[in-house]
Structure 1
């Protein structure tokens, strides 16, 4: 009773002191108390959660598959059972700092385990969905392949042979082949499924044996395993860092490789352009060499001609003046004679054309007279007999007119030719 009285008196004095404080100090005190209350509330919720877990574990009998308790956990369970009888005293006495720390660590480990399980389940679901997507993609590619083959093998031939029995038989054969292939695939998948089930049973048996062996382990072994796990995690982290460095180096190497590839492509293009230009320059050089050879030949010919002309010039002797004048006069006379005879030839050709026209008229008239007078005779004989006197008259007439106008033919350009050659 004395303790209670002292506590009540202390609380009353504290309340009186707080009532004497100013307003801003009271606000600060209220804020501190609210922070303390929130911390105590969080701590109480955590303790209630841990207590509920313990009650659920005590009420539910453990399964054989869930018995994975180490020696340290067995000792904790025994201590829990002992502490259960002393629960009333602990409620009065409260928890020490070490006990609170142990509870917090246990709750933290449970939370980490839950997160790990959730992550494993999420990864399992992700792998399952990825497998479903991969299977759907494979199935879609197979369907597209089958559609393409069906269109190539069946639809094109059916469109060419509409209504034929062969097209129907071909479709039926294609469907039977597809069913046969699916049956074979189904048998293969069934055998593979059986083998995978056997392998799964073996793995489960090995896992159960390992779990049974793991029950005999002690705290020292678990500590050693934790140390090894930490070492392996450090090694994995180091390997991951090395892998990241390797990936960065690989990315840089790929960038450098792409740069060198672009340079190589540019160099190849330049090489092709240079090769084309080299071929063009080579053809141009060959053409220039041919032109040079031709120019050398022309030069040699020109030199030879120049040499010959120089030689002729050096050997040339001017004729005498009187001889040159006589030759010049004679050349002029010959040119005048040539022009005169050319004019006479033109006139003679014109006269010859007129004589030929007269000759043709006389010939046709003579043929007509012969046809009228002797119709029973052959036309060829008539032409042969009647042509001679007409030709002779015409030729005498031409000769007389020629001699009258131009003189004898032996004086002109037609010397040695007969009169008949003019007709």
Structure 2
């Protein structure tokens, strides 16, 4: 800045003789200052671009010959505020001499080494290509991230719909799985529900695994085809990339349509599953009602058989009663009431006969008592006769022994 101020002061003193107005000097100085500031901004931008190119060239593993020349020139040259480059290998002594002769350098020509216009254009073109490649890479990475986020969002939406459907289905199952008698949950229905959900998840996992493996195989095949094309020299041009982008967009539209159809089908499957579960519950209820009705029918049939048996018995008893009634009716029709005197006589005869029966019964008792006494006497006589016969038998036996 000191050199710039000295240049401005010298140029103003050489161009404007003393005696002019201060306003003209201030305006001229202001215009020169604005011009120098614009040049400083432009040169700062150029220096930044050149430094970026130099750093990139240094970081490359195998630099080209052009890059080597530019980097060698850049390593021995440095930019100045005026946009040119100077050799910094001279050390501090050259800097001191340059500061001492700043006034003479402002008036004399600038003989420092500068980059040519072609070198500047090459650097700018290379930086432009690098920035363009970086921009394309960032756009591709952003597109990949955006596609990944969109797929994640779609998957989250599908999972949210499935989760809400599962919640509603489970709440309905919870309401229908309460026993009306015990007011407790039936564990079999809940266990069957979770087993069905587990099987559905396993089938979905298997389908997604197969689909992922198929996509991996497709990616490998496409990579091998691309590698073969690169080896054969069939490089892709910008038109091919545009065509691929168009096809990719078409495929993405088809994928979106298929995903929408898949979501619709999943919703239909969810609704069908809900209806199926409802119909299963209704079928279970109807089967239980059918069993109850069959048991009631069996009971009614047994009751009907018992009633039929009772009816047959009642009919038989009724026939017997009718027959008895008929005989009694005939007897009552043929019956004639006897005379009162005959009744009195028969009653007196009955009384006499009953008295005779009681007398004879008493006589029979007396005779039985006499018979009992006679039996006892007879038994005593038999016992005494036996005792008397025993000694005589013993004497006779002894005599027989002696005779022998």
Scaled to the shorter chain, the TM-score interval is: 0.3 to 0.5
Structure number with higher relative contact order (C-alpha < 8 Å, ≥ 6 residues apart): 1
When normalised by structure 1's length, the TM-score is: 0.46
